[in-house]
Structure 1
Amino acid sequence: MSNEEKQLTKEEIKAKKLEAKAEREMNDLLKERRQKLFDLQEQGKDPFDVYKVNRTHTSIQVEENYDDLEGKDVTVAGRLISKRVHGKAGFSDVHDRYGKIQLYIKIDDIGEEKFKFYKTFDIGDFVSITGRVFKTMTGEVTIHITDFELLTKSLQPLPEKFHGLKDPDLRYRQRYVDLIINPEVRDTFFKRTAIIKAIREFLDNKQYIEVETPILSPIAGGASAKPFETHHNALDIDMYLRIATELYLKRLIVGGFEKVYEIGKVFRNEGIDIRHNPEFTMIELYEAYSDYNDMMEITENMVAHVCEKVLGTTTVVYEETEISFAPPWKRITMIDAVKQYSGVDFNQVNSDDEARVLAKDNNIQLKKKLEDCTKGDILNEFFESFVEDKLIQPTFIYDYPVEISPLTKKKRGNENFTERFEGFVYGRELCNAYSELNDPIVQRARFMQQLKERELGDDEAYMMDEDFLNSLEIGMPPTGGMGMGVDRLVMLLTNSRSIRDVLLFPTMKPLA
């Protein structure tokens, strides 16, 4: 016995032996499946030479139309997920996109040679099945096989069905296996598609125009975020993956589109956690002649429409908490929310210095040096520290400080604040919206202030966009705009804890 083995407990030695045995068995299975493929190819029966299947029905069509199909021949196709064939007959299950259908095979119907061939099929193989539709004694709709074809040979075994694919990291890396093994995962992504379709339906019915804007841009604008940088060789210029679609969509408002939206990927070179992925899906919409009050109304109505369309209700359960998306959502100003949850009334704070003292006294964690923070900066930090995680039911927090809202119109009657709101659900930001700033002179001054922020070390501050300023000088009508994280909405409506659970292929660190 080696020194290493002496240091191991009996349980650890046993576990290592079981692991080695499992690895040997796996290698044997892989060799066996490949040998089956080679044998088929030598016999001129290469399953990878099959190009098309004349499928007549899906599993759900057979189930739902049983009364019309009983006793008739159908052809289905899918992945073999179970096989219980012994003696001269047996049952199997095939999965397609819509679910599973049971199969019954009997040697008397297909002959000894084909029956023997069928028994060589492995779990995971793709097959097409032709047969008569009937019900078993237990009432299960089943296809009595009269013919079949092997369509694709699966060379790797699927995870054992009772334990399945549970490791989250492996699930995200091998989503294709995850979708096969875990039906609830497939359901999440079918709902994601339905959610996006319902968003489009809602906006299309309101005469919004869906557009596509550039993903590569010479300027990263429209949000406070660190971009991904790249280089265009032919033009010899640095470019950025977009962090938002805002500035291009506003150009279209200038051009007369009046109502416009885009659903698409945006990219931010930031951290990864249960709410953040470097690439994610946003919807941004803009409507001429509207303001942030109109955006509140359209946001809550759009989400309610999606809930009704996809779930049949505006009440959902997220992590055991019941949430109602029925309009109207709660509305409260940032100052009033901070006063409610922290006891500090910023209406009584008269200077930046007073705000700095409050930040120090309340141990507020600041994103920049205390001396560089204004009253508005500190109000926002109070909100994030004391309020944000308390907003469980859908809530619009409105009237944000001008310092953190460079693309927003000032609040009517109070130039220290802007007509901006964010929607929060379950303590998380869901959307962000403004009465859009359309004064090119003020916008230039705001951009200049952002440049100063960049000089102070804020690499997420806005860049100067001269073409956007030029478009504002051409003239943009009063406009309301809203941006929402589609992935976060999908998380809420599918009770998914992590953003990775609603992204088919989330960003992963490469395996060493």
Structure 2
Amino acid sequence: MAEQDIINARKEHLKWLKENSIELYPVKSGKSENIAEIKEKFEKSGESFDASVSGRVTAVRLMGKAAFAEIFSGGNKIQIYIKRDDVPDDFNIFKKTDIGDFANVSGFVFKTKMGETTIHVKKFTFLCKSARPLPEKWHGLKDEEQILRKRYLDILTNEHSRNNFVSRSRIISGIRKFLDGRGYMEVETPILHGIAGGADAEPFKTHHNALDLELNLRIAPELFLKRLLVAGIDRVYELGRNFRNEGISTRHNPEFTMLEIYEAYSDCQGMMALCEELIKDAASRALPGEEPAINIEKPFLRIPVFEALKEKTGINFEGNLERGFLAETAVKLRIEFEKDASAAKIFENISEGILLDGVMEPVFLHDFPEEFSPLAKPKPATSTADRFELYMNGMEIANAYSELNDPVKQREHFMLQVEHSPHKDIDEDFLEALEYGMPPAGGLGIGIDRLVMILIKSTSIKDVIIFPQLKKK
């Protein structure tokens, strides 16, 4: 039957319900118990009891004066049995109920001859009409674009997709529990920033009418979280959205979830240990009953960037970081980069292309160039920053360093940064905060969307962002 014919048939059912004074969208829906708990209780006791469930009708089998159907709620289904002789008026309403409609049923629990736990209906209440049929009669969406544009139908009809987001929720909840249990305080810092700081990225811009003020959606919460170290909050984290007006790919979405953690009196090594412990803990929670996506027993690899690059290419990059040299070297090494890429970005592409080729296990790249790490402390008597990046499946997951807390050096780094950036503003308020004294600290940022991707064994960030950004239709 064509979709429009199905819609027309539903309109006829709707008309009948109206003519018979059936409340189509009632305020109260009646008591609804958890389906999984009902089934578990019945399996344990084997004795019948009364139960009430509200949910979506997902299957109907009419058999003259009786019918079986399925009710779906909270990720679980239960069979119902309704008989005209028991509830003649309600049975007539049930016959006008379509797959996708919502209803409440009350009755007693029993087991059919086929061994199916079922509710024998003693009261059937109509709750909501589904004017459109569910995709492919409950078998789910197949077109990739439709899956993303109509995620509500994808989750409704695709158990795998639903489980992806259940896993994401479990991972994020576990991360909060992990950090809270170690004395970290969760905070919320501003989303609207006067100066887009804390990262080198293109911001989304907006305007505050009442204040006549140009603002940016934040690209990172880092500089506000460091202010809280100045404030005496020694262990602090934020788990929230960042926004960058850049490309979209299987690894990038313009709004994404980041975890940033700062700990006074720690350093890069402390953050490395924390990062590994946190990610192994998250991996153990991600897919209950399945093998974790990573080996949670094996220590993560550690690779020093300059040393490893020299070993693999024969080229000494330390002290040779001019853009022209890096671009020429990248071409020789067959490393791709965008035409307008900065020296830092070209170096990143070289490092990833050479050091991560074929490496799928978790690996810490550490000791990056100081001049490409404006917020990190330098290592004494070297040109490297006390910094690491974590890669998993060849994809950057985390970035961390010993935080620079010298206000004079921080100003110098900001001045150098703006020379090579279209964004010329320097956050003077942050520099002033540093002048009051910020304790030595370690800082860590983890891309939650990418982490979830890996831990649930997905290949696209769109699989783990519930409503990803899409092109206009």
TM-score range, shorter chain: over 0.9
| TM-superposed deviation, 1:303 | 1.1
* Aligned counterparts, 1:134-153, within 5 A: 134-153=110-129
Indicate the residue corresponding to 1:334 in structure 2. 305
Q: For each residue in 1:444-463, what CA deviation from the matched residue of structure 2 results, as whole angstroms up to 9, or x when unmatched?
A: 01111111102xxxx4x684
TM-score by length of structure 1 reads 0.87
SS at match of 2:246: coil
Indicate the residue corresponding to 1:42 in structure 2. 19
Indicate the residue corresponding to 1:8 in structure 2. none
Does the 8 Å contact 1:224/1:462 carry over to 2? no
Indicate the residue corresponding to 1:502 in structure 2. 464
| TM-superposed deviation, 1:137 | 2.1
Cα distance between partner residues in 2 of 1:163 and 1:356: 51
Q: Please say if 1:186 is aligned against 2:186.
A: no
Does the 8 Å contact 2:93/2:126 carry over to 1? no
| TM-superposed deviation, 1:350 | 6.4
Does the 8 Å contact 1:335/1:379 carry over to 2? no
Indicate the residue corresponding to 2:401 in structure 1. 434
* Aligned counterparts, 1:414-433, within 5 A: 414=382, 416-433=383-400
Cα distance between partner residues in 1 of 2:346 and 2:141: 46
Cα distance between partner residues in 2 of 1:472 and 1:258: 15
* Aligned counterparts, 1:361-510, within 5 A: 361-366=332-337, 373=343, 379-414=347-382, 416-454=383-421, 459=422, 463-510=425-472
Indicate the residue corresponding to 1:11 in structure 2. none
Relative to 1, partners in 2 of residues 1:313 and 1:488: Cα closer, same or farther, differing over 3 Å?
farther
Q: Please say if 1:59 is aligned against 2:30.
A: no
Does the 8 Å contact 2:198/2:219 carry over to 1? yes
| TM-superposed deviation, 1:164 | 2.1
Indicate the residue corresponding to 2:4 in structure 1. 27
Q: Return the match for 2:55 from 78, 88, 98.
A: 78
* Aligned counterparts, 1:298-313, within 5 A: 298-312=274-288
* Aligned counterparts, 1:83-232, within 5 A: 83-111=60-88, 113-161=89-137, 163-232=139-208
Q: Please say if 1:259 is aligned against 2:235.
A: yes
| TM-superposed deviation, 1:87 | 1.5
Cα distance between partner residues in 2 of 1:47 and 1:337: 68
Q: Please say if 1:247 is aligned against 2:247.
A: no
| TM-superposed deviation, 1:349 | 6.9
Q: Which amino acid aligns with 1:329?
A: F
Q: Which amino acid aligns with 1:166?
A: K
Cα distance between partner residues in 2 of 1:270 and 1:347: 28
Cα distance between partner residues in 2 of 1:382 and 1:279: 26
Does the 8 Å contact 1:304/1:314 carry over to 2? no
Cα distance between partner residues in 2 of 1:347 and 1:441: 27
**Higher mean C-alpha displacement, 148-157 vs 81-90:** 81-90
Cα distance between partner residues in 1 of 2:326 and 2:120: 78
Does the 8 Å contact 1:307/1:314 carry over to 2? no
Does the 8 Å contact 2:31/2:54 carry over to 1? no
Q: Which amino acid aligns with 2:420?
A: E
Cα distance between partner residues in 1 of 2:158 and 2:229: 44
Does the 8 Å contact 1:127/1:150 carry over to 2? yes
Q: For each residue in 1:89-136, what CA deviation from the matched residue of structure 2 results, as whole angstroms up to 9, or x when unmatched?
A: 22111110131011112223223x432321221000001111111112
Cα distance between partner residues in 2 of 1:314 and 1:286: 32
| TM-superposed deviation, 1:348 | 7.7
SS at match of 2:292: strand
| TM-superposed deviation, 1:171 | 1.1
Q: For each residue in 1:4-48, what CA deviation from the matched residue of structure 2 results, as whole angstroms up to 9, or x when unmatched?
A: xxxxxxxxxxxxxxxxxx6xx322221221232233223321221
Indicate the residue corresponding to 1:17 in structure 2. none
Q: For each residue in 1:192-248, what CA deviation from the matched residue of structure 2 results, as whole angstroms up to 9, or x when unmatched?
A: 111111000000011000000000010111111100001111111110000011000
Relative to 1, partners in 2 of residues 1:358 and 1:163: Cα closer, same or farther, differing over 3 Å?
same
Cα distance between partner residues in 1 of 2:301 and 2:288: 22
Does the 8 Å contact 2:188/2:238 carry over to 1? yes
Cα distance between partner residues in 1 of 2:286 and 2:337: 41
Does the 8 Å contact 2:306/2:318 carry over to 1? no
Q: Which amino acid aligns with 2:467?
A: F
Q: For each residue in 1:411-458, what CA deviation from the matched residue of structure 2 results, as whole angstroms up to 9, or x when unmatched?
A: 1331x110110000001000100101111111101111111102xxxx
Indicate the residue corresponding to 1:269 in structure 2. 245
Cα distance between partner residues in 2 of 1:479 and 1:381: 28
Indicate the residue corresponding to 2:316 in structure 1. 346
Relative to 1, partners in 2 of residues 1:360 and 1:171: Cα closer, same or farther, differing over 3 Å?
closer
Cα distance between partner residues in 2 of 1:351 and 1:53: 69
Q: Which runs of 5+ in 2 are unaligned?
A: none
Q: Please say if 1:324 is aligned against 2:295.
A: yes
| TM-superposed deviation, 1:309 | 3.1
SS at match of 2:118: strand
SS at match of 1:109: coil
Cα distance between partner residues in 2 of 1:351 and 1:272: 28
Instruction: Quote the sequence identity (%).
Output: 44
Q: Which runs of 5+ in 1 are unaligned?
A: 1-21, 318-322
Cα distance between partner residues in 2 of 1:197 and 1:462: 38
Cα distance between partner residues in 2 of 1:315 and 1:330: 20
RMSD of the alignment, in Å? Answer: 2.3
Cα distance between partner residues in 2 of 1:332 and 1:503: 31
Q: Which has the higher helix share?
A: 1
Does the 8 Å contact 1:314/1:325 carry over to 2? no
| TM-superposed deviation, 1:336 | 3.3
